[in-house]
């Protein structure tokens, strides 16, 4: 109690010096054992709960003769399937990838938009760090945290490999990256086609470049989404600091559009990776 009173007294004396900066890292709120819960993780949990609740309600109210809301939802699904077809070139593939890709889109979109709501980033607690009073918000947009976007990117890329193995087989899919088959074919084909001694090692080398490309996919996906959403939050905070009433509103509308576009870009890139992973080398 004495320590708490002392902290409150120090904070009260330095309330004019309380600072808050948009950090690149998510800020810890509390601990569950050794597990640290950050403000961006809390925000992501809220999104997961919202998605589960909405999905449950939609599932319970699906009818043979659709109402207005169900009609609207079916139009959205059909629209996305048409877009997916333009990437996959096959309705069967679009239907197979739809649950995963659309889940990415919904989760990212709600996270992007939730960060724009009043209270997100402005309601929090004051903590003491190195003798300075620092404001720590309880909630922070999940996609404004690199940990979240990195996790989403890794999940998307890993699932593309899982689908690739399921579609092509483990051996054939492995040879897209470590082309052992091309090296083994050199002694067999050398007499008929001496050029294989040059061509096939190049094929094997290209496979190694593909491995680097997979790491680049993760970096590209995570940093693109994080950079756009984090920059949007900093922009809104800057505008609010200049003039809190009226000035941030146009930028908030801009961020609504940016949030939608970024969610769609992320989902479509995952869809493209899934399509490429399940296609044969010739395609």
CB 99 within 8 A of CB 81: no
What is the pLDDT, as a whole number, of residue 212?
86
**What pLDDT score was predicted for residue 17?**
55
pLDDT, residue 1, reads 45
pLDDT at 5: 47
By C-alpha distance, which of 20, 10, 15, 9 is closest to 134?
20
Segments in the chain forming alpha helices (H): 2-13, 39-60, 68-88, 91-114, 146-168, 170-174, 180-189, 196-242, 248-277
pLDDT of residue 131: 61
Predicted TM-score of the model (pTM): 0.81
Q: Which residues contact 270 (CB under 8 A, 6 or more apart)?
A: 100, 101, 104, 156, 159, 160, 221
Structure confidence at residue 94 (pLDDT): 92
What pLDDT score was predicted for residue 84? 94
User: Residues with Cβ < 8 Å from 204, sequence gap 6 or more?
Assistant: 178, 179, 180, 182, 183
User: Cβ contacts of residue 231 below 8 Å, gap of 6+?
Assistant: none
Report residues of the chain scoring pLDDT below 50: 1-16, 283
Question: What's the pLDDT at 241?
Answer: 74
Torsion of the alpha carbons at 187, 193, 196 and 199, rounded to the nearest 10: -170
């Amino acid at each position: 109690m004495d320590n708490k009173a002392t902290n409150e007294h120090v904070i009260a004396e330095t309330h004019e010096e309380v600072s808050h900066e948009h950090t690149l890292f998510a800020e810890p709120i509390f601990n569950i054992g050794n597990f640290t819960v950050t403000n961006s993780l809390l925000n992501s949990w809220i999104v997961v709960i919202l998605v589960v609740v909405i999905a449950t309600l939609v599932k319970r109210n699906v009818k043979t003769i659709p109402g207005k809301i169900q009609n609207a939802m079916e139009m959205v699904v059909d629209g996305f399937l048409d877009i997916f077809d333009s990437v996959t070139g096959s309705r069967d593939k679009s239907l197979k990838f739809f649950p995963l890709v659309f889940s990415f889109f919904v989760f990212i979109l709600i996270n992007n938009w939730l960060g724009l709501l009043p209270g997100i980033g402005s309601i929090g607690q004051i903590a003491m760090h190195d003798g300075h009073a620092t404001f720590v918000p309880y909630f922070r947009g999940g996609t404004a945290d690199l940990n979240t976007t990195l996790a989403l990117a890794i999940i998307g890329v890993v699932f593309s490999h899982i689908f690739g193995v399921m579609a092509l087989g483990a051996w054939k899919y492995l040879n897209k990256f470590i082309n052992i088959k091309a090296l083994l074919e050199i002694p067999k084909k050398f007499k008929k086609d001496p050029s294989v001694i040059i061509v096939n090692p190049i094929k094997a080398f290209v496979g190694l470049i593909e491995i680097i490309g997979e790491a680049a996919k993760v970096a590209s996906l995570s940093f693109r989404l994080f950079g756009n959403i984090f920059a949007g939050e900093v922009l809104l905070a800057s505008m609010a600091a200049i003039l809190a009433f009226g000035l941030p509103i146009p930028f908030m509308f801009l961020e609504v559009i940016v949030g939608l576009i970024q969610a769609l870009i992320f989902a479509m890139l995952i869809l493209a990776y899934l399509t490429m992973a399940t296609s044969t080398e010739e395609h």
